[in-house]
């Protein structure tokens, strides 16, 4: 529980400046949800075990949060976007700072998510 609390404290300054634009699922759809649309930023997150939220920051920058719906296994996240993206930065849940979204960062643990800033 302390780890979750630490992560929330580090992500909160960014999250509080975001407005949610859309939430959608890949793969199986829980009732009342939808797949990504033609207007969605993401085409795929790299498999059917993800859901995504799209956000706009107060400064106009765009973010996506990709969540692993599988509560048992980690999954490799490899997002593909409908719009040109120069780069992605992971907002670190340990520092609150943007870091490269590479190597082990692309593996999302069971039930966890990654907050990504589009560049």
> C-alpha dihedral over 72, 42, 64, 57, to 10 degrees?
-170
Cα 104 from chain centroid? 15
Average confidence score pLDDT of the chain = 94
pLDDT for the residue 1: 75
pLDDT for the residue 102: 85
Convert the pLDDT of each residue in 26-82 to its tens digit.
Answer: 999 999 999 999 999 999 999 999 999 999 999 999 999 999 999 999 999 999 999
Summarize the confidence of residues 109-113 as an average pLDDT: 94
Summarize the confidence of residues 14-24 as an average pLDDT: 98
pLDDT for the residue 4: 79
Residues spanned by the domain of 52? 2-118
The number of domains in the chain is 1
Cα 8 to Cα 111: distance, rounded to the nearest angstrom = 15
């Amino acid at each position: 529980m302390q780890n979750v609390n630490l992560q929330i404290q580090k992500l909160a300054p960014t999250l509080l400046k975001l407005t949610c634009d859309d939430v959608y699922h890949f793969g199986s759809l829980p009732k009342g949800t939808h797949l990504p649309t033609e207007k969605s930023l993401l085409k795929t997150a790299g498999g059917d075990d993800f859901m995504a939220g799209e956000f706009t920051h107060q400064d106009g920058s765009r973010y996506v949060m990709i969540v692993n719906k599988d509560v048992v296994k980690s999954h490799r996240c490899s997002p593909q976007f409908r719009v040109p993206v120069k780069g992605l930065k992971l907002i670190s849940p340990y520092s609150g700072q943007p870091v490269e979204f590479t190597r082990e960062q692309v593996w999302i643990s069971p039930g966890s998510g990654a907050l990504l800033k589009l560049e």
